[in-house]
Amino acid sequence: MGQASYDDLKGRLREVATLGSVGSLLSWDQETMMPRDAASFRAEEVALIARLAHERRTDARIGELLDLCEKDPDLGSDPLEAANLREIRRDYDRACRLPAELVEEIAQTCSRALEVWKQARADSDFESFRPWLARVFELERQKGECFGGAGDGELYDRLLEEYEPGMTASQLDGIFAPLRGDLAPLIAEFADDGPMGLESLRVPLATQSRLNRDLAGRLGYDLGAGRLDESTHPFTEGLGPGDTRITTRYREEGFFEALGSTIHEVGHALYEQGLPKEHRHGQPLAQAAGLGIHESQSRMWENHVGRSRAFWSWLLPRAREATGASLQGVGLGQVMRAVNRVRPQSVRVESDETTYNMHIMLRFDLERAVMRGDLAVEDVPGFWNDRMKRDLNVDVVDDANGCLQDIHWSLGAIGYFPTYTLGSLYAAQFWETIVEVIPQLGGQIASGNFSTLLGWLRENVHRHGRRFTAAELCERATGSALSHEPLIRHLRARQQDLREAR
């Protein structure tokens, strides 16, 4: 009885997820291929799919089947299926609290806001985006209100819950405050404003494209089950079984930036490709444990692997061969400084891994202030510029390089930013454990062998899906609760290594 209901339930969830995949494919297309004039029709398509998926997700029959499954003792005593059911219940109850009209309105508003934001950023014109931003915050406020009443904690928590289940803003305060306390002196000690020394490096786009594709495969990304394309804002889209796509961004003068982006997205894609989607598409056990853990995977590959001396001692000779003249005469020391130096500046995605977290804490405080009603949308640029000055001593030249730089708000992703720093923290904590259990890892990376590392991640993170929360995964894999200290140790060690090598 329970098993038949469970099979029915899983079949329905697979359909919901497949509708979601169609929606994601539309978004992927919008970012990579779509002609400009298709934008308003695309908003219609996206909104329709979002509404259909929501209707199916909240179908009363799913609730009935879930009730039956929860009463089945066999399912309840199987730890995997019990975890699956627990998470299906969580998703269902949350989805049922959202009215379909609101879901559709958010999808439609955001699809149009995205186009307005692109133009506003190109023109550095905050005024044209301001009403859209106000609308997005208002819709997100309504969404937050659906998830609870007065006394259920602050509104921001209920949006954060979407991206980092179980985390609250006040818990974040408890991690971010000591992190900020240790980062500020680290930045002051190691900030390096001098010229990079590789400013004149230019690598033809076709060469970069070949090298990035080759590297993605070497790291373990299965290109037979994915694609590497270009977009303004690099991203990963885990569409479904056998289809995990990534994008990157090439500029002739942005050789290291493109490699960093590609490695980052490969980290996300390896997680997606390591989830048990073949048999469980649409089920929580085949989904990521939250965006913090997702980001820990991208940041581990980007920062702990992709900015290390071992990695570059392997990649540099290969890159020299691939790029012909461009990289002749460029030494390992120069590369290490170019990819690791601490250099406060206004653009988040171009920031080094030390100052990066200051950008995130600014956004967290800003969004929280708007959600609390303490900050008006028209005062966002002022708040932004003041904080950049205070936190990083950076003067923001215009809003394109300030509060208009990120895509997130136009996507309605309020409460998303903290997951980037959580990702850095989880990555650093995982990494301390990994180098302890795989002492030969440095040598493996220096010879282009990434399979032992990937094996550890598959075993300790990927295969579990949402069986454990992020906090539980961290405890199980590393033996302790999340702390800011491993990240600080990592950042300090790397800067000291850089200084000693000079």
Whether the CB-CB separation of 464 and 283 falls below 8 Å is answered with no
**Which residues, including other chains, have CB under 8 Å from residue 212's CB and lie 6 or more apart?**
228, 248, 250, 258, 259, 262
Q: Which residues are catalytic?
A: 265
Whether the CB-CB separation of 180 and 488 falls below 8 Å is answered with no
Give the residue with the Cβ less far from Zn ion, 303 or 385: 303
- What is the x/- site pattern for Zn ion, positions 290-319, by CB under 5 A? --------x---------------------
Give the residue with the Cβ less far from Zn ion, 135 or 462: 462
> In the bound complex, what is the minimum distance in angstroms from residue 108's beta carbon to Zn ion?
26
> In the bound complex, what is the minimum distance in angstroms from residue 16's beta carbon to Zn ion?
25
Cβ-closest position to Zn ion: 298
Residue whose tokens read 């980007």: 302
Give the residue with the Cβ less far from Zn ion, 165 or 381: 165
Among 248, 192, 193, smallest CA distance to 499 is for 192
Give the residue with the Cβ less far from Zn ion, 147 or 416: 416
Distance (Å, whole) CA 459 – CA 467: 13
CB count within 10 Å of CB 326 equals: 18
Distance (Å, whole) CA 380 – CA 357: 19
Whether the CB-CB separation of 471 and 291 falls below 8 Å is answered with no
Whether the CB-CB separation of 173 and 224 falls below 8 Å is answered with no
Listed in sequence order, the DSSP H helices in 287-331 are 291-299, 309-323
- Six token digits for residue 143: 């969404």
> In the bound complex, what is the minimum distance in angstroms from residue 425's beta carbon to Zn ion?
14
> In the bound complex, what is the minimum distance in angstroms from residue 27's beta carbon to Zn ion?
16
Give the residue with the Cβ less far from Zn ion, 351 or 495: 351
User: Binding-site residue total for Zn ion (CB under 5 A)?
Assistant: 1
Give the residue with the Cβ less far from Zn ion, 262 or 298: 298
109 is an interface residue for Zn ion by CB under 5 A: no
- What is the x/- site pattern for Zn ion, positions 233-272, by CB under 5 A? ----------------------------------------
> In the bound complex, what is the minimum distance in angstroms from residue 461's beta carbon to Zn ion?
15
> In the bound complex, what is the minimum distance in angstroms from residue 301's beta carbon to Zn ion?
10
Whether the CB-CB separation of 433 and 479 falls below 8 Å is answered with yes
Q: Are strands 226-230 and 243-248 parallel, antiparallel or unpaired?
A: parallel
Distance (Å, whole) CA 165 – CA 294: 13
Give the residue with the Cβ less far from Zn ion, 248 or 298: 298
Strands laid side by side in the 243-248 sheet:
226-230, 243-248, 236-240
Helix (H) or strand (E) holding 227: strand 226-230
> In the bound complex, what is the minimum distance in angstroms from residue 416's beta carbon to Zn ion?
10
Distance (Å, whole) CA 448 – CA 442: 10
Residues that bind Zn ion (CB under 5 A): 298
